[in-house]
Structure 1
Amino acid sequence: MSAVLQTFDLSKSFGGITATDHVDFTLAKGARHALIGPNGAGKTTFVNQLTGVLRPSSGRIELMGEDITALPREARVKRGLARTFQINQLFGTMTPLEMIALVTSERLGRGSHPFRALDRDLELVGQTAEILTRFRLDDIMDRRIATLPYGKQRQIEIAAAFAARPSVLLLDEPAAGVPEAERRELMQTVAALPDDVSVLLIEHDMDLVFRFATRITVLVNGRVLAEGTPEEMARDSSVRAAYLGEGAHA
């Protein structure tokens, strides 16, 4: 499978601390890929470099074969790289309908006031409705986001990222704090996204990782310790010793 996102020799240092250490990484087209590792492994620093929050100390990042290492965040989003955060980045006074319509309108070049056009812009209406349906938000689309359960808020944030039509979607612990029943529904929805959306999941919940991912990269002390299928990672003694523990299972 062709690569949509790659890093080459990517490193980031803060003073005398090396957070990511010569990381070579490839995300394949259509992948359901998980990045795991203990606290302090460098996962968030790595993702922040991918998305332009942090500038690497050295190395290169490519998106669809283009060097994006020096590009600002907004330019990366326009080229198809979207993310969610550990803490929701939502407008609590909006409804899911308004939130999705806003992102969709920006992508379609309709400006930042989509609500005036919702009754006459058929393309905007159609795409917004499709996303609300895909993420099972139809029945709550007119409720204020701040009043909704946390699991639904996480689902809305992923839906909003998807509304940007990314080729790469980075999910930073999307299920953290979400009840188990809602967590399963959330990840089933993500797993069912179109094949042209490649997903990189950063997550601590190993049961969720093994259910979702078809490939796993293990980061320890800023370096890639191992990479492979969930079954390979569960059997890898170095991974078990560093992170999963002897009781790990696929």
Structure 2
Amino acid sequence: MSGEVVLSTRGLVKRFGGITATGNVDLDLRKGARHALIGPNGAGKTTLVNLLTGVLQPTAGRITLEGRDITGLAPHQRARRGMVRTFQVNQLFDRLTPLETLALTVAQHRGLGARWWRPLGADRAVAERCDMLLEQFHLTAVRDEPTQVLAYGKRRLLEIAIALACEPRVLLLDEPVAGVPAGEREELLRTVGSLPADVSVLLIEHDMDLVFSFATRMTVLVNGAVLTEGTPAEIARNAEVRAVYLGTERVHG
């Protein structure tokens, strides 16, 4: 494998009482990666993401971001260092429009948070960045609609646009197509597939069509531990992976 490691874990453990939710996980995310984390329900994927982002503190182990130990940092400190996450459930301001939401995000990221209420065109750089994101995420036609009336697929696109507005170096996509109706999925899949090449992406997803169309490397988590890691072709041929998913998920072959 080539490419500099931007995010890594070594011996990551999380115990809740007598239950080990994450067991000695070693994971490397390389620069520009399209890396998927998959596993059956209860495999520990969400726990691992919560550890990576600082929502949970590990029982043991270490997390590094661009060579710096971030194990003890709070979520907002990790975000400032370039790690941004989306969530399984939308966390949006229903009464704001996509334009207002992105203007607030971009202004805050650029240190203009105290002036976010100024007319949206007052800061040309903020307005231009918002226009770019609205176009990139197919939100221009609904830019002035309250978020609460948007189709669910558009809400998911807005959430990813917000994450990208923070100019992440590492982006954790937590089940981006969860709950999205079939008719809205294609646009979302195309947009995820066209994320900037310089952003390293870790995708946590149950949808195998998205995983195999997006990822160039995959890690399989089972019972909180890494079962195997490899290319999509290697994962698809792996007998242990097939056994884990038999009857619960379709692994492409």
**TM interval, short-chain normalised:** over 0.9
Q: Which residue of 2 aligns with 1:47?
A: 49
Quote the residue 2:82 is aligned against. Answer: 80
Q: Is the 8 A contact 1:102 1:113 kept in 2?
A: no
Distance in 2 of aligned mates of 1:112 and 1:236: 53
Q: How much has 1:205 moved relative to structure 2?
A: 1.1
TM-aligned CA deviation for residue 184 of structure 1:
2.1
Deviation at 1:242, TM superposition (A): 1.2
Equivalent in 213, 216, 239 of residue 215 of structure 2: 213
Measure, in 2, the Cα distance between the counterparts of 1:134 and 1:174.
Answer: 16
Inter-partner Cα distance in structure 2 for 1:98 and 1:244: 45
Shift of 1:71: 0.4
Letter paired with 1:249? H
Deviations, residues 24-61 of structure 1 (Å, cap 9, x unaligned): 00111111111000111100000000000000000000
Equivalent in the alignment of 2:39: 37
For residues 236 and 247 of structure 1, the distance between their equivalents in structure 2, rounded to whole angstroms, comes to 13
TM-score for the superposition, normalised by structure 2? 0.95
1:233 alignment partner in structure 2: 235
Match of 2:149 among 147, 150, 154: 147
Q: Return structure 1 stretches of 4+ with deviation > 4 angstroms.
A: 244-247
Unaligned runs of 5+ in 2: none
RMSD (Å) for aligned C-alpha atoms: 1.3
8 Å contact kept, 1:32–1:198: yes
Give 1:119 shift. 2.0
Aligned residue-pair number: 250
- Superposition TM-score, scaled by structure 1 size: 0.97
Amino acid across the alignment from 2:96: M
Counterpart secondary structure, 2:113? coil
Give the drift of 1:121: 0.8
Distance 1:117 1:12 in 2: 46
Alpha carbons 1:101, 1:115 under 8 Å: kept = no
User: Identity of paired residues, percent?
Assistant: 59
Aligned partner of 1:8 in structure 2 is: 10
Counterparts of 1:115 and 1:126, CA distance in 2: 17
